[in-house]
Amino acid sequence: MIAFHPPVPRAFTDVTPQWLTQVLAPHHPGATVTAAQVDPHMGHKPNKARIHLTWDRDGLPPTVIVKGTLNGTTSRGAIIDFSNMAELVSYRDIVPQLEINAPRLLYQHWEAAPSEAVIMLFEDMAERHPTYFPNGFATLSYGQAARILKAMARFQAQSWNSPHFLAGGIWGPDTGAGENARLIRELYFDVLPDSEHWATSIVSPRGAALPRLLRDAARMKTGWRRLVDLLDGYGKVIVHGDEHLGNLGMEPDGTPIFYDFLARAEPWPLGLVRFLIPTLDILDRRAWERSLLAGYLEDLRSFGAPAPSFEEAWLGYRAAAICPLMIWLNNSSSWQPEATNTANAARAAAAVMDHESFALLGL
């Protein structure tokens, strides 16, 4: 453990050799970072980058990944501040308790003032030579989807209706994990149909291309509330929380990798639809989803969870398709490229129409 936490870097230029030496000291006692080269940011959002390290001795990791707020002292809004903190909580309090193949967290800290800021350092998975999925257009094969579902079933079975979700538990209401679950509802899902995002999204090209009933904010607001009630009796599990192609990878042997978590406890159908619907081509989803769902339920049972019948699961899955529609119709182009938002909104809309999701919710 380091004796104190140095100030959280507010920009990539603040990630200096001196700062890195201090925060990596528990992993490499006595070693000094003599130089650090920060690459251009990774992905669409400017919040993550690879750092090339020069050490004063041989045999130490040549690179690490830094991720954080990194936008000075000006907040980008409540939902952005929440997502940064929720990811820190995910890696600190949730991921280590479960069997998940994810980057190892090397260091984390946060500051509340002068604005909320988070910083995290991770091992660089590049040494494992993984395959990552381009956002938007590279959909999964059946085998890839089945392997990811099996990996999801493994850690979800470990958390199935866990006593840790109760008051006093490590993921209870008064913990960081409990705050993740509460705030994602209060700041995002429960208010999204009433937000300015909805009004602007439905007149954007991706929104304008959808049937008018899928653009109806009042319909979605009522549907979401009814879906929450419907899923109240379904098994509650830890979900990744942001299940899409941009947060997934594969080891050379096909082992799935999960990263960029917003982990929290939710009814399992929400995690499943957020994964399958945006990651499969529309025609493939129609052909494969019943088989993939059956395989997922069997995997849950094999890992010790009391999975529901296919009929109960199929109902929850079909109704929950409105969740990825709500997300991808409204997702900001500062979070994902517009082409990704458009492709995923179209896939979600097709699923909602195929499954008559609103009709299942009495609408």
- CATH number for the domain spanning 236: value is 3.90.1200
pLDDT value, residue 43: 77
- Residues 213 and 261 reside in one and the same domain: yes
Show the domain range for 54: 12-123
Give the end of a domain, one of 123, 142, 174.
123
pLDDT value, residue 34: 97
3-state DSSP percent of the chain in helix, strand and coil, to 5: 50, 15, 35
Contact 159, 98 (CB under 8 A): yes
For residue 116, is it within any domain? yes
- Residues 187 and 323 reside in one and the same domain: yes
For residue 172, is it within any domain? yes
- Residues 84 and 229 reside in one and the same domain: no
DSSP 8-state symbol, 9: P
For residue 70, is it within any domain? yes
- Residues 153 and 33 reside in one and the same domain: no
Give the end of a domain, one of 65, 100, 123.
123
For residue 7, is it within any domain? no
47: domain CATH number is 3.30.200
- Residues 66 and 132 reside in one and the same domain: no
For residue 112, is it within any domain? yes
- Residues 171 and 110 reside in one and the same domain: no
**pLDDT tens, residue order, the chain (363 aa):** 556 789 999 999 999 999 999 999 999 999 999 999 999 988 777 889 999 999 999 999 999 999 998 887 776 667 778 888 999 999 999 999 999 999 999 999 998 877 789 999 999 999 899 998 876 678 999 999 999 999 999 999 999 999 999 999 999 999 999 999 999 999 999 999 999 989 999 999 999 999 999 999 999 999 999 999 999 999 999 999 999 998 999 999 999 999 999 999 999 999 999 999 999 999 999 999 999 999 999 999 999 999 999 999 999 999 999 999 999 999 988 788 899 999 999 999 999 999 999 999 999
For residue 1, is it within any domain? no
For residue 4, is it within any domain? no
- Residues 322 and 228 reside in one and the same domain: yes
- Residues 133 and 244 reside in one and the same domain: yes
- The Cα-based distances of 242 to 30, 83, 213, 260 in angstroms read 38, 10, 25, 8
With tokens 């088989």, the residue in question is: 291
- Residues 36 and 59 reside in one and the same domain: yes
Give the end of a domain, one of 75, 105, 123.
123
What's the per-residue H, E or C state across 14-77? HCCHHHHHHHCCCCCCCCCEEEEEECCCCCCCCCEEEEEEEECCCCCCCEEEEEECCECECCCC
Split into its structural domains, the chain has a count of 2
Beta bridge partners of 345: none
- Residues 115 and 137 reside in one and the same domain: no
Q: How far is 130 from 243, CA to CA, in rounded Å?
A: 18
pLDDT value, residue 295: 98
Q: How far is 331 from 338, CA to CA, in rounded Å?
A: 9
- Residues 250 and 331 reside in one and the same domain: yes
For residue 2, is it within any domain? no
- Residues 105 and 135 reside in one and the same domain: no
